[in-house]
Chains A and B, each alone.
Chain A
Amino acid sequence: MKQASNPPSPPAWATRLLRWYCSPHKLEEIEGDLEEEFMYQVSRVGMRRARRDYIRHVMGFMRPFAIKRKPTTPSASVFTMSLYKHYILVALRNMLRHQIFSGINILGLALGMTCCLFIFLWVQDERRVDNFHASGDRLYSLYYTHSAHGETTAGYAIPYFMFSNSEKPRHDATLAEDLLGEIAGIQYATPYATSYELPWGHPMTFQVGETIHKLQGSSATSDFLKMFSFPIIAGDRAKPLGDVSSIAVSRKMARMFFDSPEAAIGKSIRYEDVRDFMITAVFEDVPQESSLQFDYLVNWEAASMGGVEFSDNKWPTYIQLEPAADAAAVQAKVRDFLERRKPEKAEFTVALGMQPFRDQYLVSNFVNGVPRGGRIEYVRIFTGVAIFILLIACINFMNLATARSLKRAKEVGVRKVVGSSRSHLIAQFFGESILLSFLALACSLLIVHVLLPGFNTYTGKNIESPFHTPASWAFMAILMVVTGLAAGSYPALFLSSLKPARILKGILRFSPGATRFRKGLTVFQFALSIMLVIATLVVSQQTHYVQTINLGYNKENLLYMRIEGEMGKFEKYAAFKTQALGMPGIAMVDRSSEAPHAMGFVIAEPIHWEGQQEGEEVGFKPTSVGFDFIRLMDLKIADGRDFSRSHATDSADAFLVNEEAVRQMKMKDPLGKWVSAWQKKGHIIGVLKDYHTHSLHEPIKPLIMDVKEYEYFGVIVVRTEPGKTREAIASLEKAYHDTNPHYPFAYQFLDQEYAKLYQSEEIITRLSNTFALLAIVISCLGLLGLVMYSAEQRTKEIGIRKVLGARVSHIVGLLSTDFLVLVLIAFAVAAPVAGYFMWQWLQQFAFRIDLSWWIFALAGGLALMVACLTISVQALRSAMANPVKSLRSE
């Protein structure tokens, strides 16, 4: 029969499936029953149906009762518990026996983790900015993109007066109002203009009775306080900025002038000695994590109708969408809102964009007309650095653990012989590294706790003890586990794979692969450190360069104060000048329409010149100064003459331009040619040598300068006599109070303000110094560990060599060469990479240092030297050891 030749069998895959899912203690009876049933069915209904039935039965047994594994007996769990105890004990014993190695490991990891934690705190703080508004996901900033003649500019401040659809520009029209009226889906919209942003920004003076304070604030509409979560604690909640004379003030400001926030409501407060406001609301102090900082808000109309100054005739606008509105749809309608309203003959295109408000703080630079980059770049850089440093610390750990693994190989061998499975060993080693990383985390928490105040002053943040938020705890847990796993991975996987028979015979050697791996790690580690050192050197060189470059004027002993109040009147200013000049410590006094180190204003349209071609435009920095300005600033004149009171026409007809302006106007022989700025037309009397009117990020721009002593705005610049700053300030304060009694005397030193232009570079310098130092220290710790290990391994060899007459220097060389070669390779890897990145970074400066070879040489030399020192300490010790001792052992 057929059956005999081909015995019936159930489908093999179904049996395999059963064996896979079924609990072992049930498998035998179930498999037996199924087979018996199968045989029975074959004889009854035939092979095909029996096989089908078999499959159905296998599927049928997929139930919990068959799948569930037999619970482990209590004695077994006691067994595993004691095993874990044993593991911990072994880990602790190992740590204590090799104190130096464990110390290096924990210290290295702790330093890396501290670094990570600080950066995490900083990044978290950066991300928190502007993220606290209740309707945050519906708040948008508008930005506008302007393209003309192939050039695209963009910004948040929108010059809406150009787009108000009428012949005469209306300066009171607001984009906010018109958007609300026209586009559905926008719930609120508000203009927002600060009084303090550059170029003309400054705090305003408020007065109640005899109390005078300077405070910074903004103008907005009532909508502003509905959109943003700045809670009102007293006064009118529905319409906090009801009419033109209303002002809302912060709790702090209310307390400065009145007893309590409630007491301030309804009181009047004098603004800039020109008008009175009535306090209608008091809001909670603006938290530090807000990018909008203001102590008061005045009604928008007060600003637009004059009386309250704000920075420019363009300003930012914020909108809030309806809860149900589709952002993309609104965006589409907003996009060409300005384009439809631009003047008919305008030769440019504009687009209006929406950026989520919460992103604005981190992403506020524009590339090709869309927001991209900004502080987010620092966040990214530092996150990268944190990962780098942690990586270096992890590599230390791996390297040391791998090097020491030979010592523990016997333990592994014995464990394996006694019956430990590989997974147990892996778990044991991972457990050990996580234990170490836990200890390291504890250390680093301690360090963070101690250093936090210092860190705050360092970065200008106000981070409070961070360990209250679940996010921080989660981060630390992840940090610990990831570090433990990363650091322990190689030892765990490598050690557990060793063959017990070979280990116990004692013929274990590192395979060339393992040695190469360890060397590779060291190279990587040092390459990262060298890269950080190069970055530090370049950044600090560049910072030094911008601080010390010859700006074309003398920035020492210069101070300036804002022209405001009575000072805006010419005769008062003149009186002040005369009085001050006669007082001790003061060398010269003059004025300028802009602070001379940071001129922000650039404009092209109103400026014309002799020989200008149709459609030709040059962006000028215009400034109006007094007669003594050139001498006061110590500016050099390349051609022609300075302004002079002895030339009657100089105040009405004379212009100075700089060399760059001459170049860009393509003028030959500029002296005597006519130029005009706005309504004023005159002749060039002299050409100034180019000097830096703003930060070195930008190239020198064309400059046009005239004499206007009667402007009501600008700054008074004072040159003090060297070494007599104190007297000069006292004199100025007296003269100032005599002239301008309603304003507090406030002044800035020009050199300090100049340094502030490079604040972010300053912060980077400081941080990269720290990080580079840390990276080097951690790498050296690792190197030290490796050298110690290698010296220990070669104790006997060294002893024999010494007995045979080797000199100390020879032995030191023997121990060091290998490692120094690694450092050299690391340098060869790091130099080009770092060079490329630093070249990129320098591109943001128009005036920058060259990446000269000595920077790289210094970084490499430094790394080599530190490595040498580290190595030689141990190498010398081993080389000097008495060979009798080393050879006597065993």
Chain B
Amino acid sequence: MELIPVLLMKRVYLGEFEEIVLLVVGMLDGEAYGVQIAHEILQQTQRSVRLNQVHASLQRLEEKSMVTSVMGDPTPERGGRRKRLFQVTAYGRQTLHDIQAVRTTLWSLLPDSLKTLPSV
């Protein structure tokens, strides 16, 4: 089932923010959920994100079959509510790799003058 969109889609578009969310989901390795992802992004990139943005991208990523989710166990700090835990799918991993490959190729083609930052 999940293969069909892969085959049909020639080029997967992943927004910059979606890419970051996807990477963070991967990084958290099975423990990723809304608030946690938002905090992690803030910590790692100094980017302040709003919760609804995170939820919206997670939903989009799930629609694109790049992440899957299961409901976790209830926790007391959430008033006994369950959290939805996200995990990167094989297709998501493949996409990340593709993006990385494109970046690497393009990077290698940069002239040397651009590869180094000008010294301050």
Q: Is the CB of A29 within 8 A of B59?
A: no
Q: Is the CB of A29 within 8 A of B84?
A: yes
Within 8 Å CB of B78, what residues of A?
32-33, 35-36
With A28-B82, A29-B82, A32-B83 as known contacts, state yes or no: A61 contacts B51, CB within 8 Å.
yes
From 66 to 120 in chain B, residues with beta carbon under 8 angstroms from any chain A beta carbon are: 71, 75, 77-79, 81-84
With A32-B78, A35-B79, A60-B50 as known contacts, state yes or no: A66 contacts B55, CB within 8 Å.
yes
Q: Is the CB of A60 within 8 A of B77?
A: no
From 28 to 81 in chain A, residues with beta carbon under 8 angstroms from any chain B beta carbon are: 28-37, 39-40, 57, 60-61, 63, 65-66
With A31-B81, A32-B79, A36-B78 as known contacts, state yes or no: A61 contacts B35, CB within 8 Å.
no
Number of interface residues of A (CB under 8 A): 19
Q: Is the CB of B81 within 8 A of A37?
A: no
Within the complex, which residue of B35, B56, B59, B82 is in contact with A37, where a contact is CB–CB below 8 Å? B35
With A29-B34, A33-B34, A33-B35 as known contacts, state yes or no: A63 contacts B52, CB within 8 Å.
yes
Q: Is the CB of A61 within 8 A of B55?
A: yes
**Interface secondary structure of B, over-half rule:** helix
Q: Is the CB of B79 within 8 A of A33?
A: no
Chain A residue with Cβ nearest B34: A33
| Cβ contacts B37-67/A at 8 Å (1 or 0 each) | 0110000000000111101100100000000
Within 8 Å CB of A36, what residues of B?
35, 75, 77-78, 83
Number of interface residues of B (CB under 8 A): 21
Q: Given the complex of chains A and B, what is the CA–CA distance between A28 and B59 in angstroms?
A: 15
Q: Is the CB of A35 within 8 A of B81?
A: yes
Q: Given the complex of chains A and B, what is the CA–CA distance between A39 and B75 in angstroms?
A: 13
Q: Given the complex of chains A and B, what is the CA–CA distance between A292 and B50 in angstroms?
A: 73
Q: Is the CB of B51 within 8 A of A33?
A: yes
Chain A residue with Cβ nearest B85: A29
Q: Is the CB of A33 within 8 A of B55?
A: yes
Within 8 Å CB of A35, what residues of B?
77-79, 81
| Cβ contacts A611-638/B at 8 Å (1 or 0 each) | 0000000000000000000000000000
Q: Is the CB of A57 within 8 A of B35?
A: no
Q: Is the CB of A57 within 8 A of B83?
A: no
Q: Given the complex of chains A and B, what is the CA–CA distance between A102 and B53 in angstroms?
A: 59
From 211 to 243 in chain A, residues with beta carbon under 8 angstroms from any chain B beta carbon are: none
Within 8 Å CB of A61, what residues of B?
51-52, 55
B45 to chain A, nearest CB (A): 18
Q: Is the CB of A65 within 8 A of B59?
A: yes
Q: Given the complex of chains A and B, what is the CA–CA distance between A34 and B35 in angstroms?
A: 8
Q: Is the CB of A32 within 8 A of B82?
A: yes
Within 8 Å CB of B55, what residues of A?
26, 29-30, 33, 61, 65-66
Within 8 Å CB of B79, what residues of A?
31-32, 35
Within 8 Å CB of A31, what residues of B?
79, 81
Q: Is the CB of B33 within 8 A of A29?
A: yes
From 497 to 538 in chain A, residues with beta carbon under 8 angstroms from any chain B beta carbon are: none
Within 8 Å CB of A26, what residues of B?
55
Within 8 Å CB of B59, what residues of A?
65
Q: Given the complex of chains A and B, what is the CA–CA distance between A698 and B89 in angstroms?
A: 96
Best-surrounded residue of B52, B56, B59 (most CB of chain A within 10 A): B52
Within the complex, which residue of B51, B81, B82 is in contact with A57, where a contact is CB–CB below 8 Å? B51
Q: Is the CB of B56 within 8 A of A34?
A: no
A634 to chain B, nearest CB (A): 100
Within 8 Å CB of A32, what residues of B?
78-79, 81-83
Q: Is the CB of B35 within 8 A of A40?
A: yes
Q: Is the CB of B56 within 8 A of A65?
A: yes
Chain A residue with Cβ nearest B53: A60
Best-surrounded residue of B38, B56, B78 (most CB of chain A within 10 A): B78
Within 8 Å CB of B34, what residues of A?
29-30, 33
Q: Is the CB of A33 within 8 A of B83?
A: yes
Q: Given the complex of chains A and B, what is the CA–CA distance between A57 and B50 in angstroms?
A: 8
B57 to chain A, nearest CB (A): 10
Q: Given the complex of chains A and B, what is the CA–CA distance between A57 and B53 in angstroms?
A: 10
Within 8 Å CB of A34, what residues of B?
51
Q: Is the CB of A57 within 8 A of B52?
A: yes
A698 to chain B, nearest CB (A): 81
Q: Given the complex of chains A and B, what is the CA–CA distance between A294 and B1 in angstroms?
A: 79
A62 to chain B, nearest CB (A): 8
Given contacts A29-B82, A66-B55, 10 further A-B contacts (CB under 8 A): A28-B81, A29-B83, A30-B34, A32-B81, A35-B78, A36-B83, A40-B35, A57-B50, A63-B52, A65-B59
The interface of chain B, by Cβ under 8 A from chain A, is: 33-35, 38-39, 50-53, 55-56, 59, 71, 75, 77-79, 81-84
Q: 8 smallest A-B Cβ distances: which pairs? A: A32-B81, A33-B34, A32-B78, A60-B52, A29-B84, A61-B52, A33-B35, A36-B35
11 A-B residue pairs with Cβ-Cβ distance under 8 Å, sorted by A, are A28-B82, A29-B33, A29-B55, A29-B81, A33-B34, A33-B35, A36-B77, A37-B38, A40-B35, A63-B52, A66-B52
